Amino acid sequence: MKKIIIRSMLMCGMVFLCIVCWVHISRQKYFFQEKENYQVISGMEGFVYSDLASGLESREFIEGCYFIENDRQLEGIVQRTATVTVVGENIDSDILFPSFNRLAHDDISGCLLDAETLYGLFGTTDTLGQTVTYDDREYVVRGVLDVNVPLMVISSKFEDDQRIDGLILNTADEWYRDQYADLLNSVYGSMDQTYYLTDYVSGAKWIETPSKWSDFEFWGSYSEELKMRLEHIFFDNKDITEQVCLRKSFQMMGLRTVLVFLAAVLIVGLFRFLKQLNKK
C-alpha cells in the first residue's frame, strides 16, 4: 500500500511538471504569435535614417527601424548604476521584444528594462513609474522585458543623420520569401543579413511548399535554403534583437525536450502501475 501511495505521488508530481512545462512553452510561443509577417534586416553599417527617403519608389513595407548602443550607463536611485545595451526604435516594442508591458512607438519618455537590471537599480522588479537616467535624460519605467540580458528599450524620433542598425519589414503582401529584402538590396546594397522572427520557431515556414510535387527542382532549392538558414542561425554574428529570438528558441527546445521526456516516463510508469494493480 505504501508503494502505491509513493508511486501515485510521484506520478502526480510528474503530471504537475508536465503542466508547468506546457505553460512555459505556451508563454514562449506567445512572443512569436502574429509575427510571421515580420522580417528584420540587421548589421547595416554606415546606413543613416535619411537614406530611407531616397532611391526607392515605394517603402510601404518598411515597418520601422532601430539603433543599438552597447555598454551604456544607467542611473537609478541613490546613485546605483548599471551597464546595459540600449535599443532605440520607432516601432511598438512588442514586435521585437517579449515584455510584460508594451512600449508604444510615440512614448519617447518611457522605457522597458530587464528584471535583473531593475533589481540592481531599485532592489525590486516592482518599479512601474520609477525613473532611470540615461544620456542625461530621465525615462519612466513602463514595464519589464522578458529577457535574460541587460537591456533597455526606448522609443526614438530618428534624425536624418542618425545611424540605423536594423530595419523591420512587414511582408504580409510579399509574394515570395525575401522579395522586399532583395528590393532594398538592389537600391542600397549589402543588405544580406536578414531573418524572419518565425525562423526561430518552425523550419517549415522557412520556404513555401511547391505548387506541384512533380517539380523536383524545388527540393534542390529547398535544401540549399535550409542549409543557408541553419548556417545563419548557428554561425552568423547577431545583434541583440536576434540574440533574443535565438535565446527564446533555445528555451522552447529545452522545455519541449523536458516535456517529451516527462510524458514518456509518465506513460511507462502509468502502464506499469495499472499492470501491477490488475495483478492484485
Residue 65 lies in a domain: yes
- Residue 79 and residue 48 share a domain: yes
Beta strands in 76-159 (DSSP E): 81-89, 110-114, 131-134, 137-145, 151-155
Domain boundary among 131, 149, 169: 169
- Residue 7 and residue 56 share a domain: no
Question: pLDDT > 90: what percent of the chain?
Answer: 17
The pLDDT-based confidence of 206 (bands split at 50, 70, 90) is very low
The pLDDT tens digits of the residues spanning 100-130 come to 788 988 899 999 999 999 999 988 878 888 8
Total domain count, the chain: 2
Torsion on CA atoms 153, 164, 40, 148, rounded to nearest 10: -30
Residue 224 lies in a domain: no
Residue 115 lies in a domain: yes
Q: Which residue has the cell 533555445?
A: 250
Residue 206 lies in a domain: no
Residue 189 lies in a domain: no
The pLDDT tens digits of the residues spanning 42-68 come to 878 778 888 776 655 557 888 889 999
Range of the domain at 24: 2-31+251-279
- Residue 54 and residue 26 share a domain: no
Does the pLDDT at position 15 exceed 70?
A: yes
Judge contact between 167 and 65, C-beta under 8 A: yes
Does the pLDDT at position 158 exceed 60?
A: yes
The pLDDT-based confidence of 204 (bands split at 50, 70, 90) is very low
Q: Which set of grid coordinates corresponds to residue 208? A: 513555401
Does the pLDDT at position 271 exceed 80?
A: no
pLDDT, position 134 = 92
Out of 25-34, 151-160, 233-242, give the one with best mean pLDDT.
151-160
**What is the C-alpha separation between 84 and 81, in angstroms, rounded?**
10
pLDDT, position 228 = 62
Looking at the whole model, is its pTM more than 0.95? no
